[in-house]
Every structure is written in C-alpha cells, then in structure tokens.
A and B are shown apart, each in its own frame.
Chain A
Amino acid sequence: MNTADLEQSYTALAESIGRTGGSKTPLLLATLALDLLRELPDAEAALARIRRAEELTSETDR
C-alpha cells in the first residue's frame, strides 16, 4: 500500500466512523480489526499490534 492508498483508506475510515456514530464505533472497529488480524502472518504479529494499540490508547496526556 503506497502513501496515496493509505491516505485514501485513512479518510474512508474516518468518514465511516463519522457515519456510524458514537456507540457503534467499538463494533465497527472490532469488526474491522478482526477482519484485518487474519491477514497477518501469525499470532506474534497480531499480539504485537494489539499491545501497541492498547499502550497508545492507555496514554492519557501525550
């Protein structure tokens, strides 16, 4: 995926979250995440991404 593709996907996800609305956001992201996790080569790669996302989400004042 090149930068233009990433930018396009980033915008599409932001728009999707905007359309789906607040309380449905976790389900939208969980569904997307599960769909993407199975594209990774193994559990190690998946667990590393999950850890990083949790760490970044837990940091309050950046």
Chain B
Amino acid sequence: MIAGGGPVGLTAAALLSRLGVDCLVVEADAGWCEGSRAICISRRSLEILGWCGADRPVLAKGLPWVGGRSFHRNTEVLRFTMPSEATERFPPMLNIQQYHVEQMVAATLSADRVRVLRSTRVCGVRASPAGVEVDLAGVGGAETVRCGWLVACDGGRSTVREQLGLQLEGTEYEGRYVIVDIEQATSRKVERLAWFDPPSNPGSTILMHRQPDGIWRIDYQLRDGEDPVEAVKAQNVLPRVQAHLDMVGERAPWKPLWISMYNAKCLTLPSYRAGRVLFAGDAAHLVPIFGVRGLNSGLDDAGNLAWKLALAHRGLAADALLDTYSSERVAAARANIAYGAKSTEFMAPPHAGFALMREAALRLAPAVPEVRALINPRQTSPVEYSGSPLNLPDGGTFGAGARAGMPAPEARLRAGAGAGAGSGSGAGAGITHLSALFGSSFIALVFSERVHSSAAARLRSEDARRAPPVRWVRVAPAASRIDPADDLLIDELGEAWHRYDAAEGTLYLIRPDGYVMGRWREEAFPSDPIERVIARILGRE
C-alpha cells in the first residue's frame, strides 16, 4: 500500500507496478493538489518520470530553462547557467505545476495493477514482522486493509509517521516567504529571476519563475516582525506583486490564483525504514525550497525504493536490501539539507550576521567575480551514494568516469539493429540516450568493438536460478561491426566512451535506478558470472 497520492506516491506506484508489484494508493484529497506547489523538475527527475512513461507529457507541457539572473537593487550581481548541451535528452530544469505532474503520472498507471482510493484517509497503522494493517476512513465508511509493505508518501504532516511515533530531526528557520501564483500573459524568457532589496519592495527578496498556462510563481520574503496571518491576505499581497510587476515591466492584466506561506525547514527522519513501513518524499524529509530539492529528492526516493522493494517482495533479494534504501536516501537528504541550509542562509538570513555578510557579498559581487558563487542558488543535482554497501570496488584502474555509487553518466547514442533502447529521446531515427535504458533491470554495459568477446561471454550466466534480470548492452565505437542479434548502441559522438573512461572490454554494472554498482577493466573481470555477483550483493548467496 502507498499512503499518499501526491507526485511521489503516484510515481512510486507507477514504478512498482511496472516491476510487477500491485499497489493500492490511498489519498486523502478528492482531486489533484491545490496551487502549483513544486514547480521545478530537474533533469534527474525527468529521467525517473521516463521510467513510467510520464516524461513525454511533462516535457511537452513544461517550460525548460538553463539558468538565471540575480539582482541587488537595480544591479545584476549573478548570471548562472546549469550544464546543458545540444545532444542532451532532457533540459537541466523544467517548470511545470505539480498538479500537472500528478495527473500525467496518474495517466500512466495500469488499472489492472494499481488501484487509487481518493477521499480516503489513513487513520491507524499497526506494523508487525509479517505485514502491516492500515485502518482507512473513506466516503464509503471505514475498513482495515492488510498489506505486505506500506510506503508512506503522505507528506510533511505524515499520518503514518505520527502513527508510528516517529519524529523528524533537524532545524527550522524563522524567515518566511509568501508564495503567489498569478495568471498573466508574458513572453519573457524562462529563467530563474531573483531580486535582493528591489526598488519595488525595499528590504525584501523576490523570486520569479514562469510556469505553463500563462502563470507566474512569485515568492517574496516577509519583513521582520510581519504577522504571517495578515501577510497572506490578498489586500497585503496584491500591492507588493503589482509594484514588482510594474518594476519589471510586465503590464498585461493579471489576477491572483493561489497564495501560500513557506518557511525553510531542514528536517529528516533518522531512518526511512521501520520494518515493513518505508518513508519517502516529504513524509521522510523536509528540505528548504531554495535549490528545488523537495519534490526532486522525493522522486529520487521513489526511484531508489521501487526496484529494491520489488526484488524483496518477489523474493529475489534479502530484506536487508531495503536497509540500503534508508541509508542511501538518508545520506542524500543530509546532503540536500546541507546545500539547502547554505541557500537558506543567503535567501532568508537567520540573523543579523548573515544579513550583514549577504549585504557585503551583494555589494562586492559586480566587482569581484569569485564572490558571485555565494549568490548562486545551488540547484539540485543527483547525490552520490558514497559508502553504500551496494558499491563494488573498481576492477582495475580508472582515472575518470563514474565510480560505484555515482549516477551513471548520460550519453547520446544510435541504437543498433537488435536494440530497442526505449523511449524519451525522439531526436531522429535510431537516436537514443543511455539513460533511456535505466529504470527496470540491471544493465551490464560492455564497451567493445568486438561482436563476440569471450571474456564478457564468460560473465553471462545461462543459469536458470531465480535471479534479477540483467540486460547486456554493447556500446560500440562508430564504424564497428554489427551483429543483428546484438543489443547494441553505437557511440557515434564518442560521448559514452569518454564519460565512462572506457577502454576495449570495459564493463559497467548499472543498478535499475541508473546508479553505477561496479566497473571492471577486462583484465580484472570478476571470476563469477555477473548474475552471481548481483545475487551475492542482494543477499541471495
């Protein structure tokens, strides 16, 4: 069962069902979320949404962007660009309202495998080593449902967390931001815009993001001592928004759609696993809004959990694999919190010391380029799972590439005759991306120009034992020989060989969630077949 039908719960259901696990999703609300909520979807999140086929509608609707500008009063103090290239599958960031993402993920759910119960609350949870009993209250009355596993994606005020008596740990910041969605036609470039102490609202900090459907997201910081209840009333919000629109020259008629309030929180559960109950998204951790790590880290939770839970549920992995979900994602939350805290110290200075140093940095920035890094919003990027028990030591020497625990690098490739690499790129016939392989099985990537490599063949077990499936894919340099039976990707641009620091015969083992698990030079291949290497690390041997 999945408690919570927000974007994280729905994505978890979509991924689990595609891995063969039937799910019941329980959502307290009758419809989609109110207000735009999380609006910035990262490249990594688009990849995860691609695993359930929601990437195409999200990409078609959303507004992509690659950078932004920050101003101090009337002076530009920062211009930043996120890594982006012509051959990429997805933009580094995309603006889209959360209610669109929820609907687009829900549309991918198979009615045979996923049941979504709306207007239904979780009101009691009893967990035992054998299963979890959940009391539900819905429009049709109350019932108790027994399930093998409960995934709590029920948000910052998680009922499941409360029912188990678990507490978030960490700090909360005082500085409050008002969040306003307004409808207004605009043709302005899509970028992240920030103003410190703007003439329109002296002393405040303002953020602006363009969303689809002619909607602006405007965030501004409350003045010290301002009453938060008064602050969200329309008569106090609208004049400030009007002053800012006047200042930036957006003159089209507009109307407010949604007003909310936010203060930065750096909170996490110390563990995301309590027996057969697993926590994901805001139910597990609350991170500051600055740097857009909220929903994006929640989707990464879903991506990390789905394959592990599916393997454990199907008896293909020991229960202990689920502990690595907790250890990896708690470490990721702590890394996200560290970044988020740095951003918050700048965006909502917690005391006079931070306010003074920010003022100094903003004044110095135009003259001193090094100082501009302090103003950078530190946008989300995938976190390395260093020290994870799933990481295998390097076989042989690598100078670069991605070591075990790092996200597998992206590359644009051309699909060979036997490869059906999947969806998502659409940049021309046969063009695909490595990331389109991820999301279901383990991937063994063999970098080789040879059609048959006896060393690699030795690692391919024909063992009929129950083991998680491994898909073998050869990444060949341009102008290689092709065998129609080969699952082949042609590295026309040389991106893959370069980014994986590949030599002839190099093998990368990639987890279903697109993280590197191990890598070997041909002369240092493991002595056992790869299936056995995987079975051992999954606790099946």
Contacts and interface: CB of A to CB of B under 8 A. Distances in A.
Nearest to B368: A35
A30 B360 contact: yes
B368 A38 contact: yes
B359 A34 contact: no
Interface string B355-371: 01101110110001011
Contacts of B371: 34-35, 38
Interface string B323-339: 00000000000000000
Decide if the interface of chain A is mainly helix, strand, loop or mixed: helix
Interface string B39-78: 0000000000000000000000000000000000000000
Please indicate which of the listed interface residues A26, A27, A31 has the most CB atoms of chain B within 10 Å of its own CB.
A31
A35 B368 CA distance: 8
Nearest to B359: A27
Interface in A12-37: 26-27, 30-31, 33-35
Interface residues of A, number: 8
A38 B360 CA distance: 13
Nearest to B363: A31
A34 B357 CA distance: 8
A35 B364 contact: yes
B359 A30 contact: yes
Contact of B356 (A26, A35, A38): A26
A30 B362 CA distance: 11
B167 to A, nearest CB: 33
Contacts of B370: 38
Nearest to A32: B360
Interface string B507-537: 0000000000000000000000000000000
A33 B371 CA distance: 12
B197 to A, nearest CB: 13
Contacts of A38: 368, 370-371
A61 to B, nearest CB: 25
B364 A34 contact: yes
Contacts of B357: 30, 34
Contacts of A26: 356
A35 to B, nearest CB: 6
Nearest to A38: B370
Nearest to B362: A31
B243 to A, nearest CB: 26
Contacts of A34: 357, 360-361, 364, 371
A17 to B, nearest CB: 15
A57 to B, nearest CB: 13
A27 B364 contact: no
B368 A27 contact: no
B361 A27 contact: no
Interface string B78-109: 00000000000000000000000000000000
Nearest to B361: A34
Contacts of A31: 359-360, 363-364
B452 to A, nearest CB: 53
A27 B364 CA distance: 11
A62 B222 CA distance: 42
A33 B356 CA distance: 12
B359 to A, nearest CB: 6
Interface string B192-224: 000000000000000000000000000000000
Interface in B333-361: 356-357, 359-361
A34 B374 CA distance: 11
A45 to B, nearest CB: 16
Given A30-B359, A34-B371, 5 more contacts: A26-B356, A31-B359, A31-B360, A33-B360, A35-B371
Interface of B: 356-357, 359-361, 363-364, 368, 370-371
16 contacts: A27-B356, A27-B360, A27-B363, A30-B356, A30-B357, A30-B360, A31-B360, A33-B360, A34-B357, A34-B360, A34-B364, A34-B371, A35-B364, A35-B368, A35-B371, A38-B370
